[in-house]
Amino acid sequence: QVLLVESGGGLIQAGDSLRISCAASGRTFRSGSMGWFRQAPGKEREVVASINWSGSATYYVDSVKGRFTISRDNVENTLYLQMNSLKPEDTAVYYCASSRSILLLTTKSGYDYWGQGTQVTVSS
C-alpha cells in the first residue's frame, strides 16, 4: 500500500511561480518512476511530468517544457513540481502518482497509486 499526499496548491496570478509537493509513505519511495498529472474541468487527466527512480531522467509534456521542473528527494520520500511563468491554462487539479517501474513512464499506464490531488488556479 502506498499513500500519496499532495500539498502546496492555491490561487495565484499569471506569471507567478508555485511549488507543489507530494509526500509518499508505504512502498519504498525510491523504487519506481513517479509522475505529476493534471485534470482540468471537462478534460481528461494528462501527464505533466515524470521522473525515473533515481532522478536521472525526466519527461515533460510540451506545454510545460522550460517552465516546470520535476524533482524528487528519495531520503525525504517527497516528489516536487516547481512551476514557473504560470498561465491560466495551467489551472487544474494536480495529482501525483507512483509506480514500481524502474523505467521512465510517460503515460498513465503503469502508475498504480494516486494522490487525492491539489487545486492550482491561475488567474489572468
Supply the pLDDT for residue 1: 81
Q: Name the pLDDT band for 17 (thresholds 50, 70, 90).
A: very high
| Strand-pair partners of 7 | 21
By percentage, how much of the chain surpasses pLDDT 70? 97
Condensed to tens digits (0 to 9), the pLDDT of residues 4-16 reads: 999 999 999 999 9
